Structure 1
Amino acid sequence: MSAEEPPPDLKGKLRALPNAVGEYLHSIPDDHPLQIALRTYALSISLSLGPALVPFMTSPKARRDGWTRLKRILGRELGATGFAFAMTAGVGGGAFLKEVFDVLVLEGECPRLADDRSVHGSLRAKVIGWLALLKESHRTFLANALSSALAITLFHRRRRSPVSTGPGTTLPLTPPLYGSPPTKPSLFAGRPSITLDLTLLLLVRAMDALSQITIQKGCEVLEKNGGVDGQEAAQKRRHLLSMRLDALVFWASSARIMWCFFYQPERLPRSYNKWIMTVANIDPRILAALRLLRTGDWSYRRHHSAQPDLVSSLSRDLGYPAAWGDVTRLPPYGGPEATAVWREMGVKGRDGIGGIPCELVHANASGGSCSKNVSLRGSQAFASALAIYLPVHILPILLTRPRTLLRLSKLVPILLAVLRSATFLSTFVSCIWAAVCLTRTVLLARLFPWISHDVWDGHFGWAEEGRDCAVRPAEGDQGMLA
Structure 2
Amino acid sequence: MASALRSARSKGPLSFKSLPAALRPLIRAYLLGYASAVAPRLLTLMLQFISKKRKSAKKYLSSDRDERSFKESAFRILRTGLDPRRFPTFCAALVGGSTLLQEPLLKIISRVATQLSAGSQLRLARWLSTFISGWLSLQLLQSKQTKTSPSSSWTDSGLAAVQQGLSEASTGAYGGRTLDLTLFAVTRAADVLVGELWSQRRSRRKATGKWTAIEQLMSRLMDPVVFAASSGLIMWAWFYSPDSLPRSYNKWITSAASVDLRLIEALRRCRKGELVYGKETGQAPLLGSMCDDYGLPTEWGDPAKNIPFPCDLVHMGCSPSCEYHAISRFLRSWRWSMLTYLPLALALQLRNPKRINLAKAITGSTRSSTFLATFITLFYYGVCLARTRIGPRVLGKDIPSRQRIDEGVCVGTGCCLCGWSVFIETAGRRKDMALFVAPRALATLVPRRYPLEKQWREKLIFAASTAVVFTCALENPKRVRGVLGGILGMVLKK
TM bucket by the smaller chain? Answer: 0.5 to 0.7
Q: 2:256 aligned with 1:274, yes or no?
A: no
Take 1:423 and 1:143, find their aligned partners in 2: how far apart are those partners?
Answer: 45
Aligned mates of 2:203, 2:82 — CA distance in 1: 44
1:420–1:210: structure 2 CA closer, same or farther, 3 Å change rule?
Answer: farther
1:211 aligned to 194, 197, 200, which one? 194
Could you tell me the percent identity over the aligned residues? 26
Aligned to 2:374: 427
Partner AA of 1:371 in structure 2 = E
Does the aligned pair in 2 maintain the 1:48–1:77 contact within 8 Å? no
Aligned amino acid, residue 49 of structure 1: L
Instruction: Report the counterpart of residue 361 of structure 1 in structure 2.
Output: 314
Q: Which residue of 2 aligns with 1:245?
A: 222
The one-letter code matched in structure 2 to 1:258 is M
Q: Do 1:87 and 1:151's aligned partners in 2 also have CA atoms closer than 8 Å? A: no
CA contact (8 A) 1:215 1:241 kept: no
How far has the Cα of 1:262 moved from its partner?
1.1
Whole-angstrom distance in 1 between the partners of 2:338 and 2:419: 22
The CA distance in 1 between the partners of 2:100 and 2:358, in whole Å, is 34
Match status 1:456 vs 2:405 = yes
Q: 2:126 & 2:239 partners in 1: Cα distance?
A: 38
Q: TM-score, normalised by structure 1?
A: 0.62
Matched residue, 1:466? 414
Deviation at 1:375, TM superposition (A): 2.4
Task: Summarize the Cα distance change of 1:124–1:219 in structure 2 as closer, same or farther, 3 Å threshold.
Answer: closer
Secondary structure of 2:421 counterpart: helix
Paired residues of 2:311 and 2:320 also in contact (CA < 8 A): yes
CA contact (8 A) 1:439 1:456 kept: yes
Which residue of structure 1 lines up, in the alignment, with residue 329 of structure 2?
A: 377
Question: Does structure 1 conserve the Cα–Cα contact (< 8 Å) formed by 2:346 and 2:358?
Answer: no
Task: Provide the residue aligned with 1:299 in structure 2.
Answer: 276
Aligned length: 381
Task: Verify: 1:316 aligned to 2:292, yes or no.
Answer: yes
| Corresponding position of 1:125 | 107
Structure 2: gaps spanning 5 or more residues: 1-7, 17-23, 151-169, 438-494
Indicate if the aligned counterparts of 1:374 and 1:430 stay in contact, CA closer than 8 A: yes
Aligned twin of 1:325: 301
Partners of 2:146 and 2:171 within 8 A in 1? no
CA–CA separation in structure 2 for the residues paired with 1:304 and 1:197 = 39
Q: 1:308 to 1:242 in 2, by over 3 A?
A: same
In 2: Cα distance, 1:268 partner to 1:82 partner: 27
After superposition, the C-alpha distances for 1:431-459 in whole angstroms (9 at most, x for unaligned) are: 11111111212333366433542122111
1:469 positional shift: 0.9
- Taking structure 1 as reference, are residues 423 and 204 closer, same or farther at Cα in structure 2, changes over 3 Å only? farther
Map Cα deviations across residues 265-309 of structure 1 (whole Å, 9 max, x no partner): 12222122112111111111111111111111101132434x441
Aligned counterpart for 1:439 among listed residues 386, 396, 412: 386
Distance change in 2, residues 1:238/1:283 (3 Å)? same
Structure with the greater alpha carbon radius of gyration: 1
Q: TM-score, normalised by structure 2?
A: 0.61
Greater helix content:
2
1:284 aligns with 2:237: no
Quote the Cα distance in structure 1 between the aligned partners of 2:144 and 2:286.
Answer: 40
Match of 1:263 among 227, 240, 244: 240
CA contact (8 A) 2:337 2:372 kept: yes
Distance 2:141 2:365 in 1: 30
- C-alpha deviations, 1:393-441, integer Å up to 9, x for none? 665775xxx33x5336x77666655444433322221211111111212
Partners of 2:330 and 2:122 lie apart in 1 by: 44
Structure 1 residues 98 and 198: CA distance shift in structure 2, 3 A: closer
Pair 431,36 (structure 1): closer, same or farther in 2 beyond 3 Å: farther
Query: CA offsets per residue over residues 366-408 of structure 1, 9 Å max, x none?
Result: 233322322233334334444555566665775xxx33x5336
- 2-structure distance, mates of 1:249, 1:198: 19
Partner of 1:76: 77
The whole-number CA distance in structure 2 between the counterparts of 1:379 and 1:136 is 56
Partner Cα distance (2:118, 2:362) in 1: 42
Q: From the superposition, tell whether residues 466 and 438 of structure 1 become closer, same or farther in structure 2 (CA, over 3 Å).
A: closer
- Check 1:78–1:124 CA distance in 2 against 1; reply closer, same or farther (3 A cut): same
> Residue 355 of structure 2 is aligned with which of 370, 392, 407?
407
48, 55, 59: which one pairs with 2:48? Answer: 55
Q: Is the 8 A contact 1:250 1:474 kept in 2?
A: yes
Cα pair 1:293 1:454 within 8 Å, conserved: yes
Compared with structure 1, are the counterparts of its residues 379 and 453 closer, same or farther at alpha carbon in structure 2 (3 Å cutoff)? same
Q: Please list every run of 5 or more consecutive structure 1 residues that lacks an aligned counterpart in the other structure.
A: 1-20, 105-121, 165-187, 333-354
2:241 aligned partner, one-letter code? Q
